[in-house]
Amino acid sequence: MSTTPTSTATETGTSRRNFLKAAGLTGAAFALGFSSADSFASPVLNLSGQPGMGLPESVELNPYILIDKSGRITLMNPRPEIGQGTYQSIPALIAEELEVSLDKVTIRQTGGETKYGGMWSQAVGGSGSVRGGYMQMRKVGASAREMLRQAASQQWAVPIEECMAENATIVHKPSGKKLTYGQLAEVAAKLPVPKEPALKDPKQFSMLGKPMPRPDVPLKVTGQATFGIDAKVPGMVYASIERCPVLGSKLVSFDASKSLKVKGVQKAVKIERVVGKNRYEGVAIIADNYWAALQGRKALSVTWDHNQFDTFNSASFENKLRDLAKTDGVQGHNTGDFEKSFADAPNKVEAFYETPMVSHSTMEPMNALAHYKPDGKVELWVSSQGGDLVRGDVAKVLNVKPDDITVHILFNGGGFGRRITQDFATEAATLSKTIGKPVKVIWTREDDTQLGPFRPMTFSAMRGALSADGKAVALQHKVISPSIDATMNETYDKTKADDTMLEGTGDQKYEIPNLNTRYVHADIHVPLTYWRSVTSSTLAFSHECFIDEMAQKAGQDPLAFRMSMLTKDSDSKRVLTKLKEVSGWDNPLPAGKGRGIAQWEFFAGLSAQVVEVSKNKTGGITVDKVYCVIDLGTVVNPDTVKAQIEGSIAMALTAATKDGITFENGQAVQKNFDANRMLRINEMPTVEVHILAEGGPTIKGVGEPGLPPFAPALANAVFAATGKRIRKLPFDLEKV
């Protein structure tokens, strides 16, 4: 891995300083604006590990666009690449308006610098990168393009209308004269930033809306892409940390004498892991190479005080949740009068649904390389979902000023929400401070699987009522679960309904006159966090399976029943209408096959799926095919969208039918991929994706919406094929 030399951008007056403001980037996400002081104070990391890619003499047209005299263009991507395609989609938004082709630019990742905005301006989560940046990043490109046109028109003393931008060049149309962006950059950078630069008509787009190749793909098929785990700096050492798998245990003492005899082991030091409000003690083995660190760790003897946490197990916690289901909890959403209409209704349905805790299991285990330097400055190289998040957490835990922290965000070998928590980064930084050397901490797969934070399980008590003519008149969704917020923050308020844990339950477009959602909180000491599509990943299962149960009670086809509750125009209605058509819903399936449907709308977006399954001759079920319709409004890269749906379905199928995380004697039973099994190639169904994107101002998320409808559509398909209701996840496809 190489870092690149620093270029100090020349100060060009207030025009650029006000850039973010002028470009309308002063919303909440961009509140801090741009400080010239730290402009390129940090070297920019080269994600492809190629040497000699510095930025000498670059002119900064705005914080996202750098152009050097030879015409080389660098675009800064604020959104870490975790597999979701932001390394292409975000620069493409800038490049489209700037009129440069993406294969002619260098893409660099920002590292949480304040000039790009406040917290979450450089993080990925909530399927928010493209939909959040769609207008902002285009304005970034458009305003730079306008400055370059202006510069050319001044140079040639011709009207700006005659100066057109194309292919990184301004062309004077009447005379055919040309100046490259490289020739114009210095002058352009001194011009005022246009307040409302004209944006291209989407009809003129050359990249946006079309399936475009991703520039990271060639790097990833040659082993050249640099992930956090690949980072190297001179003099660095490796660390593996022994932490108690019984979460909550305290370190009493340790004896590292045997560890220190392992060749290559340098030291053993106490270290604290910080996860939100939680602190976990551990012992780090520092060594010349990672293998030696692992051997040293094996030789370590540690005494833990489990403090009764070793009595915790999933079976009794689940019983506790079932007991708690009898309590009322706190009200979330309410329309009409559920209790009255339920009591009065002629037909009632009740059901209880259960889902498991699961791990994120990114393919790249958690890791970070940190160097706490003698002058108190900290530099980190890390796979993380946000450079700003790393800065914020390292600043807090080590009590360092954010501006003294330089972060290099590398390619993430998966995120799925796990890399929103920066415990691995603060561990590395703390260790480096303790030992005075750059140190790379790498978690083992066992650490990664057992230590969390995990996706919470949710249990759901569902009640529904139908009128005599089979119309849904009342629905109650009561969620009983531990809470992400409660396990992370001291300030959790148990008297309020937890919106995250009720996610989406009050937001479906079904016209049910009496709708009530409730939340019953269950305390847990295990750290919990966001997992791709957050609580929708479990609540869609209970909600949409229950809608099927109501349809059955009403004696109606599951899709027709849903459509009967969608009389008004809505995106959900359009999505289901399209899905009906593309999935051939009305064509009968041969005996032994079944199909199920589900849809889900939540903060990240909306999709609906039909899953087709068949009964195996030897018993069990095979998932044959999945049809997905995703509603986007506007699409940036349809091929990336397709990939995200395929990935979401693989992940949802794993969570629905594999192992999940269960606890016995205070620790996760599953340690590695042998017991915490992941979907493999032979189990992957065919996926057919349809994107609804008719253009216009609406733009919805991509990374998560493909996940929630899958499990309920699958369970509903299993019912259609076998008559068996699946109300508890995970379930074994072989044993249905």
Partner 1 sequence: MALVKLTINNQPHTIDVDPEMPLLWAIRDVVGLTGTKFGCGIAQCGACTVHLDGAPIRSCSYPASAAAGHKITTIEGLSKNADHPVQKAWIEHQVPQCGYCQSGQIMSAVALLKQNPKPSEEDIDTAMQGNICRCGTYERIRKAIHSASTEMASAPKMPKSTPKIGKR
Q: Is 343 in the site for ligand FES (CB under 6 A)?
A: no
> Which residue from 49, 83, 365, 417 is in contact with ligand FES, where contact means CB under 6 A?
83
Picked from ligand FES, partner 1, none, the partner binding residue 84 (CB below 5 to 8 A depending on kind) is partner 1
Picking from 135, 118, 37, 74, the residue whose alpha carbon sits closest to that of residue 387 is: 118
Kindly state the tokens that stand for 511.
């016209």
Based on DSSP, count helices (H) and strands (E) in the chain, helices before strands: 19, 27
The distance of Cα 282 from the centroid of its chain, to the nearest Å, equals 28
Q: Which is nearer to ligand FES, 413 or 456 (by Cβ)?
A: 413
CA–CA distance, 194 with 538 (Å, rounded to integer): 46
CB 83 → partner 1: shortest distance, Å? Answer: 3
| Window 315-334: residues binding partner 1 (CB under 8 A) | none
Long-range contact pairs involving 619-622 (C-beta distance under 8 Å, separation at least 24)? 619/734, 619/735, 620/732, 620/733, 620/734, 620/735, 620/736, 621/718, 621/721, 621/722, 621/733, 621/734, 621/736, 622/733
Picked from partner 1, ligand FES, none, the partner binding residue 34 (CB below 5 to 8 A depending on kind) is none
Q: Is 232 in the site for partner 1 (CB under 8 A)?
A: yes
- For partner 1, how many residues bind (rule: CB under 8 A)? 65
Picking from 246, 235, 289, 241, the residue whose alpha carbon sits closest to that of residue 269 is: 241
Planar angle of CA 537, 543, 603, nearest 5 degrees: 50
> Which residue from 225, 285, 522, 576 is in contact with partner 1, where contact means CB under 8 A?
225
CB 680 → partner 1: shortest distance, Å? Answer: 5
Q: Can you list the alpha helix ranges (DSSP code H) found in 416-461?
A: 423-435, 445-450
Q: Is 415 in the site for partner 1 (CB under 8 A)?
A: yes
Sign (positive or negative) of CA dihedral 680, 682, 684, 688:
positive
Closest residue by beta carbon to ligand FES: 363
The distance of Cα 202 from the centroid of its chain, to the nearest Å, equals 27
Are the beta carbons of 111 and 158 closer than 8 angstroms? no
CB 689 → ligand FES: shortest distance, Å? Answer: 18
Picked from ligand FES, partner 1, none, the partner binding residue 326 (CB below 5 to 8 A depending on kind) is none
Q: Is 37 in the site for ligand FES (CB under 6 A)?
A: no
CB 672 → ligand FES: shortest distance, Å? Answer: 9
> Considering only 229-237, 463-471, 543-551, 554-562, which stretch makes contact with partner 1 by CB under 8 A?
229-237
Which residues are CB-neighbours of 299 under 8 A, at least 6 positions away?
256, 258, 259, 261, 262
Q: Is 662 in the site for partner 1 (CB under 8 A)?
A: no
> Considering only 127-135, 321-329, 386-394, 410-418, which stretch makes contact with partner 1 by CB under 8 A?
410-418
CB 450 → partner 1: shortest distance, Å? Answer: 13
Q: Which is nearer to partner 1, 483 or 537 (by Cβ)?
A: 537
CB 411 → partner 1: shortest distance, Å? Answer: 7
Quickly list DSSP for 482-510. Answer: --HHHHH-TT--TTS--TGGGTTTTT---
Picked from ligand FES, partner 1, none, the partner binding residue 387 (CB below 5 to 8 A depending on kind) is none
Picked from partner 1, ligand FES, none, the partner binding residue 178 (CB below 5 to 8 A depending on kind) is none
> Which residue from 280, 317, 411, 627 is in contact with partner 1, where contact means CB under 8 A?
411
Sign (positive or negative) of CA dihedral 287, 291, 294, 295:
negative
Are the beta carbons of 48 and 14 closer than 8 angstroms? no
Picked from ligand FES, partner 1, none, the partner binding residue 346 (CB below 5 to 8 A depending on kind) is none
Picked from ligand FES, partner 1, none, the partner binding residue 596 (CB below 5 to 8 A depending on kind) is none
Give me the residues paired with residue 519 across strands. 330, 479
> Considering only 20-28, 134-142, 171-179, 212-220, which stretch makes contact with partner 1 by CB under 8 A?
212-220
Q: How far is CA 205 from CA 98, 195, 196, 421, 520, in A?
A: 11, 22, 19, 37, 49
| Window 352-411: residues binding ligand FES (CB under 6 A) | 363
CB 124 → partner 1: shortest distance, Å? Answer: 12
Kindly state the tokens that stand for 720.
């259609």
CA–CA distance, 12 with 61 (Å, rounded to integer): 10
| Window 358-387: residues binding partner 1 (CB under 8 A) | 361-365
Q: Which is nearer to partner 1, 215 or 392 (by Cβ)?
A: 215
CB 214 → partner 1: shortest distance, Å? Answer: 6
Burial of 36 (0-12, 13-18, 19+ CB in 10 A): middle
Picked from ligand FES, partner 1, none, the partner binding residue 730 (CB below 5 to 8 A depending on kind) is none
CB 712 → partner 1: shortest distance, Å? Answer: 19
Picking from 548, 577, 598, 625, the residue whose alpha carbon sits closest to that of residue 706 is: 598
Burial of 293 (0-12, 13-18, 19+ CB in 10 A): buried
Count of Cβ atoms closer than 10 Å to residue 554 Cβ: 20
CB 83 → ligand FES: shortest distance, Å? Answer: 5
As a dihedral over the C-alpha atoms of residue 118, residue 123, residue 127, residue 131, rounded to 10 degrees, the angle is: 50
| H or E element at residue 258 | helix 257-261
> Considering only 58-66, 568-576, 648-656, 712-720, which stretch makes contact with partner 1 by CB under 8 A?
648-656
Picked from partner 1, ligand FES, none, the partner binding residue 5 (CB below 5 to 8 A depending on kind) is none
Q: How far is CA 589 from CA 371, 396, 609, 612, 720, in A?
A: 61, 58, 17, 9, 10
CB 654 → ligand FES: shortest distance, Å? Answer: 12
Picked from ligand FES, partner 1, none, the partner binding residue 260 (CB below 5 to 8 A depending on kind) is none
Are the beta carbons of 91 and 120 closer than 8 angstroms? no
Q: Is 51 in the site for partner 1 (CB under 8 A)?
A: no
| Window 280-299: residues binding partner 1 (CB under 8 A) | 289-292, 295
Are the beta carbons of 393 and 495 closer than 8 angstroms? no
Q: How far is CA 193 from CA 68, 141, 303, in A?
A: 19, 12, 62
Picked from partner 1, ligand FES, none, the partner binding residue 227 (CB below 5 to 8 A depending on kind) is partner 1
Kindly state the tokens that stand for 308.
């009764």
Q: What are phi and psi of 284, to 5 degrees?
A: -100, 135
Q: Which is nearer to partner 1, 387 or 666 (by Cβ)?
A: 387
Q: Is 414 in the site for ligand FES (CB under 6 A)?
A: yes
- For residue 505, give the amino acid letter: T
Q: Is 646 in the site for partner 1 (CB under 8 A)?
A: yes
Q: Which is nearer to partner 1, 111 or 685 (by Cβ)?
A: 685
Q: Is 435 in the site for partner 1 (CB under 8 A)?
A: no
Q: Which is nearer to partner 1, 224 or 278 (by Cβ)?
A: 224
Picked from partner 1, ligand FES, none, the partner binding residue 665 (CB below 5 to 8 A depending on kind) is none
Picked from ligand FES, partner 1, none, the partner binding residue 704 (CB below 5 to 8 A depending on kind) is none
**Binding-site ranges for partner 1 (CB under 8 A):** 1, 81-85, 213-214, 216-227, 229-230, 232, 238, 263-264, 289-292, 295, 361-365, 411-416, 442, 444-445, 639, 643-644, 646-651, 672-674, 678-682, 684, 686-687
**Binding-site ranges for ligand FES (CB under 6 A):** 83, 363, 414
